[in-house]
Structure 1
């Protein structure tokens, strides 16, 4: 077995041990993520910490969806010491900490199917071009009641609307505890409020470097679910639980930094956007269909993407309205950014950030000039106007999105062959299972009619 000791300097190991003693840590969760965005972990005692930091902790990769075949199942977890953090969101779990891990193969190489490694590859390409990617996702979720056994029931927690206050907004206390817990972990909270739909909430936290933000997003979801449970509720990130209501998004605000300066800003441009920003937008629009199955990975994802619910259904960009796939929020030089509005919180953040970045970088490399910006409501435009603005329709189903993903070479390049085909095959199976089911709507519509 090849040790990975050289990846963890002694100084960082010593710092981890100091934090362990300071916080009286007894158990450490070594956390990683499968290709579908589900958090996994192996819990160890501090007796095994040195072994873990040396990359000697083996696990069965064939038991993780999309990771490895049974004949090549041995894998190793390499903790990232910079992510060490005591757990504060479960009061009964004193003396517990976590670290995010990268997955390695038995020959000491990064496993190509590890989502964290996939994002790192994309970030390294950006670094070679002189760029760092910052991302600020917006976190939306629904709160449901639970039954006497703590299981979720399809009964929404309140009937409040956008920016409503308590007592109409019944989730205010849970949301406050979520924010206080996040702040203990170093999150900078920008805003929180009740969202448009009944029982829907949003917490916005400050942007960060893409890898750190992907880790933060995984922790954010765990905090939300655990705090909700402590309040006798169930938090769900499902994109569209109710027809006729807005759904959950994960709008991704992003910017490139070069030499410490926002590379998307240009004071001489009428919209304040640099040439690189325009090309980056061009890359995102070019690969929007190919990225759809990564950014919107479930059957339910496409129920959210309907006209009239502040969700994009067309591939276009705008500096003023929310009906476009990409929006340019008003901001200063430092805050100039591109908001991609289609991703939802069922997506794997590592993969979403990776495909966004690769699409944008290709746009810069190939100087992909985007079509004209659309500063009117796309929902109200006729077909001739759409043609003038070169507006294409966003995929309407997971099946259509998977077809576009399979035809986009950049998706295969970004994900790597292993993850690309594992993801495609699993999601096609998900679509086929859905297609074979008989749904309530069909019975309601057709039983008496025929």
Structure 2
């Protein structure tokens, strides 16, 4: 039986290309003793979903993709026409730095199972189509973006909901108004009634965690401009990239969000 060639979903985008082809991908898998390949895709809620398969199935997956029931993903399609397929982009292949089992990660587009064309509601496909439209209409030759990722690093977050009440409680060791129950602030660096913008250490308690996040982003090929404490006194953070190309920055933003969440959970 003749080997089925990988299906091309979109035209090649020059600055999304790198030296990664199937031969180099196999080399990366071999050199890193990769046992599993993790496919990531973005839902309409802006969150990553994933499915994982043994590395030995790589050739089959690259050629045929991974079918799944799109009706189970919020907002995608009805059960009657729910069959979709994930088509991985090998130019996004990287070794996942968080899993103990050696795992290679690739980002996918959500495609129609019959046509292998990116569906209208797939955020990644929308970005790629928008880019192609921009170039085909000669609006511009390229588009560059600087995302600012702002988030909080809370010590604890609690919430409750019962028949008669509901609420939440957020604790931050940086703010005297929101100290954790078991935190006595013996070093006296928690503050009150001030803004946290560009707070220096020791008041910027989570500098080391933020730097670890940035280090991992740089290792992933994402160029960071700077990072700092934001205005919110209760541990608000910011990481800003350099001017980066669209639509690759869309994938990079998802990678950065993943690094932030998983690094924070390590603490």
The bucket for the TM-score relative to the shorter chain is: 0.7 to 0.9
For the structure 1 residues 153 and 39, does the alpha-carbon distance in structure 2 shift closer, same or farther, using more than 3 Å as the test? farther
1:194 aligned residue: 229
1:156 aligned residue: 172
1:114 aligned residue: 122
Instruction: Tell me the CA shift for residue 13 of structure 1.
Output: 1.7
C-alpha distance in 1 between matches for 2:157 and 2:146: 35
1:314 aligned residue: none
Where 1:31 maps in the other structure, the secondary structure is strand
- The number of aligned residues is 223
Instruction: Tell me the CA shift for residue 80 of structure 1.
Output: 0.5
For the structure 1 residues 195 and 52, does the alpha-carbon distance in structure 2 shift closer, same or farther, using more than 3 Å as the test? same
Instruction: Tell me the CA shift for residue 153 of structure 1.
Output: 5.5
Aligned 8 A contact 2:65 2:88 in 1: no
Instruction: Tell me the CA shift for residue 117 of structure 1.
Output: 0.8
1:65-104 residue pairs with structure 2 within 5 A? 65-88=74-97, 90=98, 92-104=99-111
Instruction: Tell me the CA shift for residue 115 of structure 1.
Output: 0.9
1:176 aligned residue: 211
1:123 aligned residue: 131
**1:105 and 2:121 equivalent?**
no
C-alpha distance in 2 between matches for 1:147 and 1:118: 35
Off by >2 Å, runs of 4+ in structure 1? none
**1:139 and 2:140 equivalent?**
no
C-alpha distance in 2 between matches for 1:101 and 1:4: 17
Where 2:37 maps in the other structure, the secondary structure is strand
C-alpha distance in 1 between matches for 2:260 and 2:129: 29
Where 1:5 maps in the other structure, the secondary structure is coil
Aligned 8 A contact 1:32 1:41 in 2: yes
What residue ranges of structure 1 are gaps of 5+ in the alignment?
A: 232-450
1:380-391 residue pairs with structure 2 within 5 A? none
C-alpha distance in 1 between matches for 2:6 and 2:258: 30
C-alpha distance in 2 between matches for 1:175 and 1:46: 32
1:239 aligned residue: none
C-alpha distance in 2 between matches for 1:215 and 1:153: 33
Over aligned residues, Cα RMSD in angstroms?
A: 2.2
**1:207 and 2:243 equivalent?**
yes
**What TM-score does the superposition give when structure 1 sets the normalisation length?**
0.47
Higher share of residues assigned helix? 1
2:33 aligned residue: 24
Deviation string 1:77-123 (CA, Å, 9 cap, x unpaired) is: 110111001111x2x52411211101111222221111111111110
C-alpha distance in 1 between matches for 2:150 and 2:80: 40
Deviation string 1:238-269 (CA, Å, 9 cap, x unpaired) is: xxxxxxxxxxxxxxxxxxxxxxxxxxxxxxxx
Aligned 8 A contact 2:156 2:172 in 1: no
For the structure 1 residues 27 and 202, does the alpha-carbon distance in structure 2 shift closer, same or farther, using more than 3 Å as the test? same
C-alpha distance in 2 between matches for 1:105 and 1:214: 21
Where 1:93 maps in the other structure, the secondary structure is coil
**1:58 and 2:74 equivalent?**
no
1:257-268 residue pairs with structure 2 within 5 A? none
Higher share of residues assigned strand? 2
Instruction: Tell me the CA shift for residue 156 of structure 1.
Output: 2.1
C-alpha distance in 1 between matches for 2:155 and 2:111: 41
Instruction: Tell me the CA shift for residue 73 of structure 1.
Output: 1.1
